[in-house]
Structure 1
Amino acid sequence: MEAFVGYCGRGVGQSVPMSAGKTSLTAALMGSVEASLDGDIEHVAPESAEGRASTPARGNHEAPYAVARRRCGIRCFGSTIFRSLTTVIFSAKLNVLLPLGPAAIVVKELWGKQGLVFILSLLGLVPMAERLGYVTEQLSFFTGDAVGSLLNCTFGNAPELIISIFALRNGLLRIVQQSLLGSVLSNMLLVLGFSFFSGGIVSKKAQTFDKESAVMNSGMLLMAVMSLLFPAVLHYTRTEANFGRSELALSRFSSCIMLVAYASYLVFQFGSRKTHADHRNEDVIDGEACPVEEEVADISEWEAIIWLAIFTVWISITSDYLVGAIEGAAEEWNMPISFISVIMLPVIGNAPEHATAIMFAMKDKIDLTLGIAIGSATQICMLGIPVAVLVGWIMGQPVDLNFQLFETSALFMTVLVVAILLQGTSNHCKGMLLVLCYAILAASFYVHVDAPSTSENSA
């Protein structure tokens, strides 16, 4: 048995290659057990032929193999857990903020200070959102580029969607609208602006990007603006056929249309990516390019799925406390709820994703930056907002696409400015303009308060 235990001890310190199958591992284990058994038999006193014949040969192998397999399974399982924890939890410096999530729960239960609970839970969401993106990226190694990019974009917006669901459950309809709107505005102005500015300063040249993708995203965003604009115009011009009901019915119908449009957009994106990949492969074969070393996942597929579930559940718990503390924090700080929902939530909560987009721009990978900034804004407009309307319908909450004139005007002007600046190339001057536009927008929401009637309805 010493030989087998020694083999398992080496297995703990050394990872088994993914290419090694179960058959080779079983053969190695059986070989180690048989070798140890042969050594043990030499030390046993000789028996008669009748005694050896009466003892089944199977009995000499079953017990040691079962014990050895159990010992190796426990050690290997413990080694896998330790390696996964080290890779996912202890490798990122940002994870020092992870204890702030449990701290928010403790403060809420013991002292009930809403402002402190809001700050702690918001900061606690930052590392969880970053780790969620990391685990999704690891899972994309096994799902392929097309599905992986969709997973990255979807789970990158998971905190906003989860916050919206908990706000819907609490009847905070305006917070649902404003938090989703804030994510769109911050991605399109703040993230894209800093990315253009940083990329232009570092590269010292105008950066080019895929015009077809930029135009497609701009068209999708303009469609979202149109879907939000008509319910607001119906409401404020008093031109509804059935006051209060036509606006809600139009919102639900438009939400279904937006989901169909977004599904068509995904099909188009997957098809175009496959075509571009085929063209690149043909160019590589014709040009006889040197093979590039392929990146390897840090964790296995099942580890990524398990961690994905863990972080999603933990984000849900933290988001529940975050949403419950928004109104109390606004009262303690004497600050409009609209500023907290539109500005503070997206900027702090999406900080890791924003930093990633800026880093890609500084590495002259501006297409990846656009995929994060504009792609996330498109997904929230065409998927997140319609889903919130339909989920509210299921939950009995009258969520509509009437974001009020102030918020709708802010979205319309943002989409218009970004669509114009996406013409041509990107440079640091365009980036500075986008950031300054966001500063004006933030100041506007700081002095903006919802009408009394709207606030009462949202409460």
Structure 2
Amino acid sequence: MTTTEPTGPTGPTGPAGNTATTGIGRVLSRSDLSMMTGAGVFTVAAALTKGGGAIVPFLVAAIAVALLAALVGRSVDHLADRLGAGAVGVLQSAFGNLPELFIGIFALRAGLVDVVAAAVIGSILGNLLLVLGLSFFVGGRRNGVLYYSQTRARMIMALMILSVAAMLVPSLASYIHAAAATHEVGLSRITAVVLLVVFALSIPASLRREEPDGAGALEPTAIEQAAEAKAQEAAEHGAGNHWPLALAVSMLAVAGVLAAYVSDLFVNALQPAMNSLHISQAFAGLVIVAIAGNAVENAVGVKLAWQNQADHALSVILNSPLQIALVLAPLLVLLSPLVGGASFTLVFNPMLVSTVAISTIAVAYLVSDGESDWLEGATMVGLYVLIAAAFWWG
């Protein structure tokens, strides 16, 4: 009697069998290895090209920042199996913006306050208009009308409007010459603490999602939805590999340290590049810095829309600007006195305030009906291009 090789999930030809190889291939997929190699190569290249001209060091450092941001995100994704979707979503929000936080800190030390202010608003605008618009355009062209949860879209955008409104209170006080206008630093710090408290209050709700299926189960939060979307996207990618806990934590720590180092190189190369290309600080922050810090992460949202997962795409994309308003901007306010250099406040110039307010309200209206098509996406991208063009001269 002959025996046959098992061909099910645990056999050589099943999903597990495809990854149950020996050596490093069991742990790291080809995509993992490519990302790590690319991040390492461009980090070394950024160090070697430091001071070697005006354009090349800047481009190399920008690519290194994007790859390290992707590596941070990949490391956090591999913690999902141990911590659950809610917890990994919180971690993704915290660590996903590390490169942008480092860039902001080093830019403040270099006195590039306008770059930092524009980068904060640019990150919000980039997600709301450019990335979400591209998602609607790509997904709409391939799948027709995209449908997503009307309730969820309204909830996320309501939080977005409230967060942006709170972040802009110091600017409003300055514009109308209120009594608080002469205390913009103090008001900005109070606002920063309030926003961080709101974020902290949202964490327990995210971590409480370990409930069995049933009628009493709660709808997942935006943070959880983003984490679940990332996990599903990774599964559909066919990776099938799971990093050991020690590797995931170690890679997260290494990528975080390297992101801090490369962010310093990026900021040092930014000023010569702006001078050489005749780019204003406002445009550099609004477009270049914002896109460099978000490019790879937001590509996930566009890919989900292409796969007709509009609910997941919406949560992934809109969760990022929400965390910019609730976490990144407040941290820059509170950390700026400690790192030296210029002090950062939440008083933005009227053009930045107007564009982010109009864009937030416009996107809230567009997504409130629970469906979008490629034409809406194209219009959103067009609006982003016009806003970026308006800041080209400063």
TM-score, scaled to structure 1: 0.70
Give the Å deviation of 1:221.
2.0
1:311 pairs with 2:283: no
User: Counterparts in 2 of 1:147-226, with a 5 A limit?
Assistant: 147-204=87-144, 206-226=145-165
1:354 pairs with 2:286: no
User: Counterparts in 2 of 1:280-295, with a 5 A limit?
Assistant: none
Match of 1:67 in 2: none
Match of 1:428 in 2: 374
| SS class of match (1:99) | helix
1:100 pairs with 2:42: yes
Cα distance change on mapping 1:241 and 1:280 into 2, 3 Å: closer
| More displaced stretch, 172-181 vs 309-318 | 172-181
Cα distance change on mapping 1:97 and 1:85 into 2, 3 Å: same
Which amino acid counterpart does residue 344 of structure 1 have in structure 2? I
For 1:192 and 1:156, locate their aligned partners in 2 and report how far apart those are by CA, in whole Å: 18
For 1:94 and 1:247, locate their aligned partners in 2 and report how far apart those are by CA, in whole Å: 43
The match for 2:192 among 223, 232, 255 is: 255
Give the Å deviation of 1:316.
0.9
What are the superposed Cα offsets for residues 319-378 of structure 1, whole Å, 9 maximum, x if unpaired? 001011212211111111211111012224422222211111111211221222100010
Give the Å deviation of 1:222.
1.7
Match of 2:351 in 1: 406
For 1:276 and 1:189, locate their aligned partners in 2 and report how far apart those are by CA, in whole Å: 37
| More displaced stretch, 113-122 vs 373-382 | 113-122
Give the Å deviation of 1:233.
2.9
What are the superposed Cα offsets for residues 290-332 of structure 1, whole Å, 9 maximum, x if unpaired? xx9x966421011100011111111111100101121221111
User: Counterparts in 2 of 1:58-77, with a 5 A limit?
Assistant: none
Q: Is 2:173–2:180's contact at 8 Å kept on the other side of the alignment?
A: no
Give the Å deviation of 1:240.
2.9
For 1:175 and 1:182, locate their aligned partners in 2 and report how far apart those are by CA, in whole Å: 10
Q: Is 2:75–2:248's contact at 8 Å kept on the other side of the alignment?
A: yes
Looking at both structures, which has the greater relative contact order when contacts are Cα pairs under 8 Å and sequence separation is at least 6?
2
1:264 pairs with 2:204: no
Give the Å deviation of 1:199.
1.4
The higher radius of gyration belongs to 1
Which amino acid counterpart does residue 402 of structure 1 have in structure 2? V
Which amino acid counterpart does residue 33 of structure 2 have in structure 1? S
| SS class of match (1:386) | helix
User: Counterparts in 2 of 1:126-145, with a 5 A limit?
Assistant: 126-145=66-85
Q: Is 2:97–2:293's contact at 8 Å kept on the other side of the alignment?
A: no
For 2:215 and 2:89, locate their aligned partners in 1 and report how far apart those are by CA, in whole Å: 19
Cα distance change on mapping 1:315 and 1:148 into 2, 3 Å: same
Give the Å deviation of 1:100.
2.6
Which amino acid counterpart does residue 97 of structure 2 have in structure 1? N
Cα distance change on mapping 1:252 and 1:277 into 2, 3 Å: farther
Match of 2:169 in 1: 230
Cα distance change on mapping 1:367 and 1:276 into 2, 3 Å: farther
What are the superposed Cα offsets for residues 20-75 of structure 1, whole Å, 9 maximum, x if unpaired? xxxxxxxxxxxxxxxxxxxxxxxxxxxxxxxxxxxxxxxxxxxxxxxxxxxxxxxx
Which amino acid counterpart does residue 117 of structure 1 have in structure 2? P
Which amino acid counterpart does residue 197 of structure 2 have in structure 1? V
Give the Å deviation of 1:115.
2.5
Match of 2:279 in 1: 335
Match of 2:264 in 1: 320
What are the superposed Cα offsets for residues 126-147 of structure 1, whole Å, 9 maximum, x if unpaired? 2222222111111111111111
Cα distance change on mapping 1:310 and 1:275 into 2, 3 Å: same
For 2:284 and 2:253, locate their aligned partners in 1 and report how far apart those are by CA, in whole Å: 28
Which amino acid counterpart does residue 232 of structure 1 have in structure 2? S
For 1:215 and 1:281, locate their aligned partners in 2 and report how far apart those are by CA, in whole Å: 20
Gaps of 5+ in 1: 1-16, 18-78, 283-291, 450-459
Cα distance change on mapping 1:162 and 1:213 into 2, 3 Å: farther
Q: Is 2:78–2:243's contact at 8 Å kept on the other side of the alignment?
A: yes
Which amino acid counterpart does residue 248 of structure 1 have in structure 2? V
TM-score, scaled to structure 2: 0.81
Task: State how many pairs are aligned.
Answer: 354
Identity, % of aligned positions:
26
Q: Is 2:107–2:267's contact at 8 Å kept on the other side of the alignment?
A: yes
1:446 pairs with 2:392: yes
For 2:126 and 2:216, locate their aligned partners in 1 and report how far apart those are by CA, in whole Å: 34
Q: Is 1:187–1:377's contact at 8 Å kept on the other side of the alignment?
A: yes
Match of 2:307 in 1: 363
Match of 1:64 in 2: none
